[in-house]
Amino acid sequence: MVSALAAHDFEQARALSVASAVLDPEVPCVTVADLGILRSVDIIDGVAVAKVTPTYSGCPAVLAIELAVETALLDAGFEARIERVISPAWTTDWITPAGREKLRAYGIAPPGKTSSSKMALFGEIVVACPRCASQNTSKISEFGSTACKAQYQCADCKEPFDYFKCI
Amino acid sequence: MATNADFANTLIALADDHLILGHRLSQWCGHAPMLEEDLSMPNMALDLIGQARNLYSYACILEGSGRSEDDLAFLRSDREYKNCLMVERPNGDFAHTILRELYFAAFMHPYWEAAQSSADKTICGYAQKAEKEIAYHIRHCGEWVIRLGDGTKESAERMRKAVTALHPYTEELFTITPAHQACIDAGLLPDLATLKSAWSMTISTIFKDAFLEIPEIAFPQEGGRDGRHTEDFGHLLSELQFMQRAYPGQKW
Ligand SMILES: [Zn+2]
């Protein structure tokens, strides 16, 4: 009994680590775990069940992400099932500190802390340049290359950069 | 008492608003007046179409009829779409498109805010996400309305024309169908009457900075919620549905 439980725990931990390592297809410097879009992985009746949540309602990467997680689990020898979780909704606050640091190192300014739509409506936020850390930056475009990013430019080092929007 | 059919039908009408407006915005892709807008139009379209997909899919589950989101989006006749007339209007110039998006976003923001206390957990989840997405639309379009209204003689004139043309269509956003009323009574969906003050506040604040007047509505333009559409809608559907009509059952 004890060893059966231990084996279950071991398999569960292994499934979690396999799924956690999957990279985001649009922002491949961070994993789905870094972004906080992998909610959990459990072994239920021998099947690895991964719960994944979308970032944006219209995020075209959702299917790709679900498929990538499923494939990673299958490759690791699991039977796998993906469940899409809607509530509680993902916000950028789910991104881990390690994930934020990886974004910055990749050249994407991480989102401001504590998202609220009131900020998006009325607040002007200060975005630090991911390269030189200058706060002397300005917004070029509210919308960028993917749904989750806006475009900024640094007035000191002159580099344009992506900002991971705070939602 | 709201039946599953009441709930599903009300969600489908809301999804229709999102799909049709998303389609209209997507028509700007590659035609916008500047690069930033070539990015922003499809991005806003993506938000709306994503929200439409969520609503359609959930309505299909509630219906339990075996219809899919694609069936609803692509395989109904014009009379079966229940979107309000405003979203199907031709894009017109950039001022028209931006103003219409502002009108709609200013309505959906308080809608999603209120929907977060729905008795239905799925709706709460969709609402939490959509509220933040639509806030960006208000901000982006609001800035443009101010920029154009407070811009050159030409841009101000075009903004005024857009207001005159589109404002009569805004009443229909607040129409409450019997099915919707049943959902309100059951605590499933927001009471649209309570959203009006937030909508008016957003519009009047932006109009003030844009030097635009809010016109009186002498003849409200409505009919879409009953399936009565404008001539332009048929042309829109012929483009939207083309692939599924020409190649039935085709998948990506
Ligand atoms: Zn810099």
What's the gap in Å between the CA of A29 and the closest CA on chain B?
22
Q: What is the pLDDT of residue A143?
A: 82
Domains and CATH numbers, chain A: 4-84 (3.30.300.130), 101-164 (no CATH)
Question: Which of A4-8, A13-17, B35-39, B44-48 is predicted least confidently?
Answer: A4-8
Mean pLDDT confidence for A77-84:
96
Of B6, B92, B21, whose CA–CA distance to B51 is shortest?
Answer: B21
What's the gap in Å between the CA of B219 and the closest CA on chain A?
32
- Judged by a CB distance cut-off of 8 A, whether residue A90 touches chain B is yes
Which residues on B lie below 8 Å from A112 (Cβ)? none
pLDDT per residue of chain B (252 residues) written in tens, 0 to 9? 799 999 999 999 999 999 999 999 999 999 998 888 998 999 999 999 999 999 999 999 999 989 999 999 999 999 999 999 999 999 999 999 999 999 999 999 999 999 999 999 999 999 999 999 999 999 999 999 999 999 999 999 999 999 999 999 999 999 999 999 999 999 999 999 999 999 999 999 999 999 999 999 989 999 999 999 999 999 999 999 999 999 998 887
Higher model confidence: residue B209 or residue A122? B209
d(CA B6, CA B177): 10
Q: In terms of CA atoms, which chain A residue is nearest residue B136?
A: A120
Higher model confidence: residue B97 or residue A88? B97
Mean pLDDT confidence for A25-47:
94
Secondary structure, 3-state, chain A? CHHHHHHHHHHHHHHHHHHHCCECCCCCCCEHHHHCCEEEEEEECCEEEEEECCCCCCCCCHHHHHHHHHHHHHHCCCEEEEEECCCCCCCHHHCCHHHHHHHHHHCEECCCCCCCHHHHHHCCCCCCCCCCCCCCEEEEECCCCCCCEEEEEECCCCCEEEEECCC
Between strands A79-84 and A47-52, the pairing is parallel
Higher model confidence: residue A122 or residue A80? A80
Q: Cα-atom radius of gyration of chain A, to the nearest Å?
A: 18
A120 — pLDDT class (breaks 50, 70, 90): low
Give chain A's mean pLDDT: 89
Q: What is the pLDDT of residue B228?
A: 97
Omega cis (within 30) before B190: no
Taking the centre of ligand 1 as the mean of its atom positions, its distance from the CA of residue A156, in whole angstroms, is: 5
Listed by start position, the domains of chain B span 4-212+222-246
A115 — pLDDT class (breaks 50, 70, 90): low
Q: What is the pLDDT of residue A117?
A: 53
d(CA A102, CA A35): 10
Residues 6+ apart with CB under 8 A from B151: none
Higher model confidence: residue A119 or residue B4? B4
B positions 135-154 inside 8 Å of A (CB): 135-136, 138-140
What's the gap in Å between the CA of A135 and the closest CA on chain B?
22
Question: Which of A7-11, A95-99, A159-163, B201-205 is predicted least confidently?
Answer: A7-11
Q: What is the pLDDT of residues A44-68, one digit of tens each?
A: 999 999 999 998 888 888 889 999 9
- For the cut 70, the answer to whether the pLDDT of residue A1 exceeds it is no
Taking the centre of ligand 1 as the mean of its atom positions, its distance from the CA of residue B215, in whole angstroms, is: 47
Question: Which of A83-87, A119-123, A146-150, B13-17 is predicted least confidently?
Answer: A119-123
CB B17 within 8 A of CB B56: no
Does A167 sit within 8 Å of B140, measured CB to CB?
Answer: no
Of A139, A162, A138, whose CA–CA distance to A149 is shortest?
Answer: A162
CB B31 within 8 A of CB A132: no
Q: Which residue has the tokens 């190649």?
A: B247
Mean pLDDT confidence for A103-119:
78
Cβ atoms < 10 Å from Cβ of B93: 14
CA distances from B192 to A128, B118, B183, B195, B236 (A): 40, 13, 11, 5, 27
Q: What is the pLDDT of residue A126?
A: 85
How many helices and strands in chain B, by DSSP H and E?
11, 0
Q: What is the pLDDT of residue A2?
A: 61
For B4-212+222-246, the fitting CATH number among 1.20.1260.10, 3.40.50.300, 2.60.40.10, 3.40.190.10 is 1.20.1260.10
- For the cut 60, the answer to whether the pLDDT of residue A128 exceeds it is yes
Q: What is the pLDDT of residue A3?
A: 74
